Structure 1
């Protein structure tokens, strides 16, 4: 019998148990993480809810748990087949009836899954937005009257966001098409305007936006001016050969170049970009997910939905396109709560290329204006003079923060100096050369370079010719970057990267205003390792035992063709190695060991513990 009342009026038959009990009995967790319980309550109460949670905060539990308590099936809309398969495998490992239908599976398997859906044997069904929003699928689902729809990676629905996907727009029809179903949406990446746009599109009038913060305190944030990228990268990786990480590049060509360089240096490095065949991308992704100490060198084609918990670093060889993209990409590190490090190299060439990408976009002028502003915010972040975490969180609307003590600016505070005199020289050179030239030529004029371009234009006769010869080229590059970040210089993309004065630059030039700058070092900064966090520390357990538990996990994952974390997370293995249970009853007390996993894997891991000496 179809029920077409509103979601608030619909009476769902729930299992006679509390959410806390189901969390423990199904997933093996003793309690909710901060913020999870409130979101579960919102959803169970029937309120349309958009949840913004930092990566690694446990957003999946927030909709998977209500899905198990509602009378009827939940449809989860997910953008990537690999993400669907991993989520389904993880749920099935906990004894949950989950399934996915997508183009990466055989048609026979999809048909059989749909039969299970029709017979009521599936509690969570994962679909892509393209497959869901076909007339045939919508009609079929109407007959089944789903209890809930969940939109994962919800930022993809908004043109205000940095990762808009046109196929997500149709999801705005769900509310009217399925008025009796609950509707929830989740994202880790959305500023205030994007959040409101998502809610308006999905919920129409009403709905709640729950922002559970953006802070990832276990991530060390670092930014460095690009000097010699090869030496900077290799120095950063020097003592990380036993760790998994991601290196983001701007182009397919640079991805292949960097992966080749690292393989020559003895790293297990794999490329990932849209130019590779789907089979190669899939194989490389599976190796990255299953193996340890793998470096994935990738374009932004890699990342959404990647849920490898032990990624210890994310390194950007080029600037991302916005603060949202940067936050989303660094969010792939340290999902297990352990310390992880992020580093971004940036230069004016990156900024110029990013502006070109924006201007070449076919979107309207208002969209381009927003994207330029987003890039401006990232530039300001790169040249920040105070705690980076304060700057990052302020962008997403979290203010009033104290310095984090875990970013490069806190660990090695910059020295602020009066840069007004050097800025006057720079601005004068830009002005006297007609605001028609890029950074390289302006610096040549400042330093008195004897080049054909300088002579041909008569710039060797300007009053500013050679006035900056006492400063090395990296100094002037740094000053230009800080001036761009401060809004005193603009890069004219249509003018092929010409520098133009902006904002208060003329006031500085006339001596009416001072310009404080961060002291510019011409030496590449050394990488700093992240301090230990207060979460579970692997160094407190027997390293040999932990390695044996991981090896057995890897074998079990390979047998089942699933990522290792689907068997058990690192945090669970660490807890297991600390507690050293001697029987199945004690094994059930290990964090992350639910009844189904206890039944499937409990004795196997007890045998490993017994082989390594039993209890402490």
Structure 2
């Protein structure tokens, strides 16, 4: 018999009444089950805002499997949407950018959603400032369209982002769950200067069993990493936002059926993607925020165990300077990343401290630092 986890029970109980719910729970813990259960049992017209087309297609498949009539806008026909709901639609999946167009705004008003779900809601914080500004308008949807219930889901919501979201949502707001890392995931931060990074990745891939994912900072870098994977004797696929809808769908099918050793991807294949057979992840370059770091780490070890390997060097932070240019907040976030790699402390405790503000105990033997000092 299936038993709901505590945070799932609390969220579903809170959604029985009008109001807003912010739910933070570890990657792979079953956050999506909350809105799937809510949609299936309450019959509310549900608007699901999804940040990535691959994730939107995965969500549509899951909802369809439990008998929910889905209108797939984000990641649908042509990859750019173009589909609006009708009177039989129970769930409409869209990207935030679709709401910037009058056609979809009119369709939304006509459809009158009763339940709003914003999956991976940390995207408001991570991408809303410059990269995808449409995310910043999402909290206003609740009042603008008189939506009685909303659910904001993430595994990685920084403290400052949580306070910002709380201030922008109308009362009442229920906060449920807490940040957490996969309990058995090994985190290995390797100081790897650029002249030896390709060789380090080659050795890592050679010694890796099972399937995994390598995150690249740019589309161009995926090609270089592909050459390294080929030299290591690994079958691989490359995934990034510059590919056509058909290409991305084909690759998603290959990954879903575990038909390759390595997925080489940009962040377009990141958050929320649920493939339990991916046992390890490699991050080619130190990311520009702790939020991105936690998201990349969370792609591995969903069945338990697993390993996250992060290559880093001080040069990485110089290369990230263009990303944070003009934003004091982003520059501050990059500073947190620099501190994380530079100071001698438990890696897991450092990540937990960033997201919760609370000190955490030494992990014992689940990170490179603790292993080095026999913590």
User: Could you state the TM-score of these two structures normalised by the residue count of structure 1?
Assistant: 0.55
Query: How many residues get paired?
Result: 371
Q: Equivalent residue for 2:208? A: 240
Q: Which has the larger radius of gyration?
A: 1
Richer in strand (by share): 2
- Match in the other structure for 1:212: 178
**Aligned-residue offset at 1:180:** 4.9
* Corresponding residue SS for 2:19: coil
Residues 408-427 of structure 1 aligned to structure 2 (within 5 Å)? 408-413=368-373
| 1:370 and 2:338 matched | no
User: SS where residue 412 of structure 1 aligns?
Assistant: helix
Q: Does 1:174 align with 2:141?
A: yes
Instruction: List aligned pairs for 1:582-593, cutoff 5 A.
Output: none
> RMSD of aligned C-alpha atoms?
2.8
* Residue 133 to residue 32, structure 1, CA distance change in 2 (3 Å): farther
Q: 2:188 aligns with which of 201, 205, 222?
A: 222
After superposition, the Cα gap between the structure-2 partners of 1:230 and 1:133, relative to the gap in structure 1 and judged at 3 Å, is: closer
Kept in 2: contact 1:133–1:171 (CA 8 A): no
In structure 1, runs of 5+ residues without a counterpart are 1-28, 416-616
What is the CA-CA distance between 1:141 and the residue it aligns to? 3.8
Distance 1:223 1:140 in 2: 48
Corresponding residue number in structure 2 for 1:146: 113
Q: Is residue 218–residue 266 contact of structure 2 (8 Å, CA) maintained in 1?
A: yes
1:96 aligns with 2:68: yes
Query: Equivalents in 2 of 1:247, 1:409: separation in Å?
Result: 22
Deviations 1:449-474 (A, max 9, x none): xxxxxxxxxxxxxxxxxxxxxxxxxx
Q: Please list the CA deviations of residues 388-435 of structure 1 after superposition, one character each: whole Å capped at 9, or x if unmatched.
A: 1111100112524222121122222289xxxxxxxxxxxxxxxxxxxx
Partner of residue 31, structure 2:
59
2:27–2:181 contact (8 Å) kept in structure 1: no
Tell me the residue number matched to 1:6: none
CA contact (8 A) 1:77 1:127 kept: yes
TM-score by length of 2: 0.88
Match 2:250 to one of 283, 289, 305: 283
- 1:86-165 alignment, distance < 5 Å: 86-102=58-74, 104-105=76-77, 114=85, 117-118=86-87, 120=88, 122-132=89-99, 134-158=101-125, 165=132
* Aligned counterparts of 1:248 and 1:328: Cα–Cα separation in 2: 11
Instruction: State the match for 1:299 in structure 2.
Output: 266
Match of 1:380 in 2: 339
Deviation at 1:164, TM superposition (A): 5.7
Which residue, out of 153, 156, 170, partners 1:186?
153
1:344 corresponding residue in structure 2: 310
The verdict on how the C-alpha distance between 1:345 and 1:174 changes in structure 2, with shifts beyond 3 A counting, is: same
Tell me which of 309, 321, 328 is aligned to 2:276. Answer: 309
Deviation at 1:266, TM superposition (A): 1.4
The 8 Å contact of residues 72 and 93 in structure 2, kept in 1 or not, is answered as yes
Q: Structure 2 matches for 1:390-429, cutoff 5 A?
A: 390-405=349-364, 406-413=366-373
Q: Deviation at 1:167?
A: 1.6
SS at structure 2 position matched to 1:271: strand
Q: What is residue 264 of structure 1 aligned with on the other side?
A: 231
The aligned runs of 1:79-90 (5 Å cut-off) are: 79-90=51-62
Give, in whole Å, the separation in 2 of the partners of 1:279 and 1:248: 21
Deviation at 1:168, TM superposition (A): 1.9
Q: What runs of 5+ residues in structure 2 fail to find an aligned partner?
A: none
